Structure 1
Amino acid sequence: MPDDQQPYLSVWARPQRPRREQPPLSREQIVSAALDLLDAEGVDALSMRKLGTRLNAGATSMYTHVANKDELLELVVDAVYGEVEVPAAADPDGWRAAITRFAHGMRAALLRHPWIVSVQGETGVAYLGPNVLRQNEAILAVFEQGGFTLEAADQALNTVMAYVIGVSTSEAAWLTTLARSGRSEQDWTASLWPAAEQAVQDYPRLRKLYAARRDQNARATRDDEFGTGLECVLDGLAARFAPAEGA
């Protein structure tokens, strides 16, 4: 089997060719085209053959950079992470403000590419991607600047990411359903209210909550709930790991 098609554990373990040996088609071109295809048609539409057609490229040019769809997804997921602004460790507003901006930026990136939440658990060792590594290093530095030990900073990073990805996964699934329907979020929500209110008639707490949300803007409600949940996460991290003020 040619070296280019050896089964590596990850695209990040694939040796890079010297620049003088690079083929006309670059890795960046492949990733950009794959990202456009995923955004337009979803993950089920992605295939090496379809991508090659879109790039007007033969298999040899593509397999120089990626052996299969799994490696391609590793690259594209890392590219999405690269869209998120990396927080500065010495943020004048403190670690909470820096992590809050990062979390909102991460959520926004995931919702711009809702297909990503269905592949994140299938992208091998995506944590070795350069954008993910750069991002994680920056977030660890933010927490350390806030007084966390390195071990606590790592736990805090994992907790924040679990929250952001968990909430965004549900939101992305909802937005994907909306996109297939061709309807706006507000119209879809309004059409569901009669059935929803009927369904909760025997559940007084849910009935009260549904009634309070009857005329709210659906997108604004999602934004507010994400922000409130994030504050709760940061409150918990501060209480467990951050040194008391003046300590």
Structure 2
Amino acid sequence: MATRTRRPERREEPLSRQRIVEAAIALLDTAGEGALTFRALAERLATGPGAIYWHVTGKDELLNAATDAVIATMTADTTSTAGTAAATPQEAIRTLALGVFDAIDAHPWIGTQLARAPSQSPLLRVFEHLGRHIQTLGVPHPAQFTAASALLNYILGVGGQNAANARGHHQHTSRTEFLDTTATSWANLDPDEYPFTRNVADQLRHHDDRTEFLVGLDLILTGITTRHSPIDPTPS
């Protein structure tokens, strides 16, 4: 009697591009960009690297897909929130900006990816949403690109720096300890060479990153709305 060959157990979930991207995000969050290899991803997915290549051609495509997945979810959430009747363009921009800031804080590798590929869809999603809100604010067409770009550069710059600080300076100390040490260093600087820095040392010690981010964002928004406020054509 012929021996029946036992078939391998079927996967509960078939391998898909979505599963691969989700696993890549988890690996990036826990170990960073340097740890993202197709071999490590294959081990996490209990498959072979060749099966992953069937869905994704290389690491660059995978990083872009992972970034796009996070940003797409974030922009969808902020769009639904900002789409309420009570939301002003300024509120919508704040919601979007804070969503990107929090996304970079939760996934520090995203900041690098957004800056690395300015023509790719993840960054364009953010730029497109900012641009729409700039249009709703009534900013004249010749100034729309500059206004949206200024906002985007601020969001990516501050968000990326915040993530870099969290990964670098705070690895061996808490945020409170790091700020306290830095503020003390500022307070002890030469008073003739660094009078301003010494004067704001205590503000550094007690500041909140998200609050400061929103204050800076409001400064830019105030400048945009003040400089490009719609002109009332009705004579006084």
Distance (Å, rounded) in 2 between the aligned partners of 1:154 and 1:89 = 22
Give the % identical residues. Answer: 29
- Over aligned residue pairs, what C-alpha RMSD do you find? 2.7
Q: Is this contact kept in 2: 1:34–1:76, CA < 8 A?
A: yes
Distance across 2 between alignment mates of 1:107 and 1:177: 17
- Pairs within 5 Å for 1:60-209: 60-84=50-74, 85-87=77-79, 88=82, 91-123=85-117, 125-127=119-121, 129=122, 135-149=126-140, 152-181=143-172, 183-202=173-192, 203-209=194-200
State the TM-score, normalized to the length of structure 2. 0.79
1:44 paired residue number: 34
2:6 corresponding residue in structure 1: none
Aligned residue type for 1:240:
R
Q: How many angstroms apart in 2 are the aligned matches of 1:51 and 1:123? A: 23
3-state SS of 2:166 partner: helix
Q: What corresponds to 1:16 in structure 2?
A: none
Counterpart residue identity of residue 97, structure 2: A
Q: CA separation in 2, counterparts of 1:124 and 1:71?
A: 14
- The alpha-carbon deviation at position 89 of structure 1 amounts to 5.8
Q: Is the 8 A contact 2:170 2:178 kept in 1?
A: no
| 1:221-236 matches, cutoff 5 A | 222-236=209-223
Shift of the alpha carbon at 1:58? 1.4
Does 2:224 match 1:237? yes
Aligned equivalents of 2:22 and 2:167: distance in 1?
Answer: 21
1:61/1:79 CA distance change after superposition, 3 Å: same
Please, which moves more after superposition, 143-152 or 34-43?
Answer: 143-152
Q: How many residues align?
A: 217
**Structure label with greater radius of gyration:** 2
TM-score by length of 1: 0.76
Give the equivalent residue in structure 2 for 1:5. Answer: none
- Mapped to 2, the partners of 1:93 and 1:175 lie a distance apart of 32
Aligned-pair CA distance for 1:40: 0.5
Instruction: Give secondary structure in 2 for the equivalent of 1:225.
Output: helix
Range that drifts further, 201-210 or 227-236: 201-210
Confirm or deny: 8 A CA contact 1:74 1:124 kept in the other structure.
no
Alpha-carbon offset, residue 178 of structure 1: 4.5
> Separation in 2 of the partners of 1:72 and 1:195?
42
Q: Deviations over 1:88-114 (max 9, x none)?
A: 467534211111111111111111111
Is 1:217 the counterpart of 2:211? The answer is no
Greater mean deviation of Cα atoms: 57-66 or 28-37: 57-66
What SS does structure 2 have at the residue aligned with 1:213?
helix
Per the TM alignment, residue 158 of structure 1 is displaced from its structure 2 partner at its CA by: 2.1
CA contact (8 A) 1:91 1:98 kept: no
